[in-house]
Amino acid sequence: MKKHNFSAGPAILPQSVKEKASQAAVDYNNSGLSLMEMSHRGKEFVEILNKAEKNVRTLLGVDDNYAVLFLTGGASTQFFMTAMNLANPNDNIAYVDTGAWSSKAIKEAKLFSNVNVIASSKEANYNYIPEIVPPSMTPKYMHLTSNNTIYGTQIKEWPDVTCPFVCDMSSDIFSRPLPLEKFGVIYAGAQKNVGPAGVSLVIIKKELLGKVERQLPTILNYQTHIDKGSSFNTPPVFPIYVTMLTLQWTIDNGGVSAMAKRNSEKSQLLYNEIDSNDLFVGTAQVSSRSNMNATFLLKDESLTDAFLEDCQAAGIVGIKGHRSVGGFRASMYNAMGLDSVQALVDVMNSFSKKHG
Ligand SMILES: *Cc1c(COP(=O)(O)O)cnc(C)c1O
């Protein structure tokens, strides 16, 4: 039976990407070697890395003012690497607190600079994106989390400020077009919308670097990775390959505009069902709803196990909500087709006929 994978991350990958990756795991391009046993300095991997970078640039329109890096340590390492590389201890940096990941970014940035939390929706368990008013001081940068994977909220309009954004896009990068010029840094763990776990993508405006007084450990200095083309040390060869394939799939399927259209169709289908089905209720405020992760509850929690059983019977997996929100979370990343969302909607619909 076809599985409909709604997992939040690691998450769904396109079928054709998985097939190519499995071939490369055994015999890369008829070389007689697995890609996993090939040198990261060899011509094959250098080509893959160049292609991965080129695909990022093509998809988001990234010009030479920005570097595109493939690093390790997850988005969680970027929480501190950004502040460490961009801000001196007495600089003001502005943070918008829209969830658990934002809060972690705030905690880490405080180790290196003067963090001002300028907006938060913590008081409502982060069920909306707060209004972002430009701060009176000009911060060095403003940190945003574009999509809040746990709470199912997403920034729809970029705030109008004069400083660059540093943005955690782990769960919605490549899901829609971006006004790139507003961003100083974009970072994302690959395992939601880009590829497998083990690599993070960082897009960074080069002119922001080299301005801090502190000594940086070599491997935590962005400039090192720019100078060494993401190969200062051994990069995660296989995750970068799968990421390159996923980005190529994204390009071949119409790029980020086509993804945005598809993602909005998918999420509309599900939100319409959540809103019209008497048994369910959405947890995020309507105007903040994410096109990537939809969070919802059964009004009668005692039906939870019965609903999960019906989902399982229909091949729907990864639907259980994050413990801090409860209920259900349907993650509908780029690689998911409308048919999978329809399968979930059908289960919700027949469930309400049985229990309504
Ligand atoms: C998953 C996630 C993270 C954490 O990513 P790691 O790669 O596991 O460190 C950070 N931010 C957001 C928005 C996420 O969804």
The domain ranges of the chain are: 15-252, 255-355
What pLDDT, on the 0 to 100 scale, is given for residue 325? Answer: 86
pTM of the full predicted structure? 0.98
Dist CA 44 CA 50 (whole Å): 10
Q: What is the CATH number of domain 15-252?
A: 3.40.640.10
Nearest to 10 by CA among 247, 317, 254, 236: 317
239 Cβ closer than 6 Å to some ligand 1 atom: no
Q: Is 165 exposed, middle or buried (0-12, 13-18, 19+ CB in 10 A)?
A: buried
pLDDT at residue 181 is higher than 90: yes
Instruction: Report CA(185)–ligand 1 centroid distance (Å).
Output: 15
Q: What is the mean pLDDT of residues 195-215?
A: 98
pLDDT at residue 246 is higher than 90: yes
What CATH number matches the domain at 255-355, 3.30.70.2190, 3.90.79.10, 3.90.1150.10, 3.40.50.300?
3.90.1150.10
| Residue showing tokens 């920005």 | 66
The protein residue whose alpha carbon is closest to atom 3 in ligand 1 is 75
Instruction: Report CA(306)–ligand 1 centroid distance (Å).
Output: 30
Q: Is it true that 15-252 and 255-355 share their CATH fold?
A: no
The protein residue whose alpha carbon is closest to atom 2 in ligand 1 is 170
End-to-end CA separation in angstroms for the chain: 28
What pLDDT, on the 0 to 100 scale, is given for residue 152? Answer: 98
Is there a catalytic annotation at residue 168?
yes
Helix axes 237-252, 15-26, angle to 10 degrees: 150
pLDDT in tens, 121-164: 999 999 999 999 888 888 999 999 999 999 999 999 999 999 99
Of 97, 140, 168, 266, which one is the catalytic site residue?
168
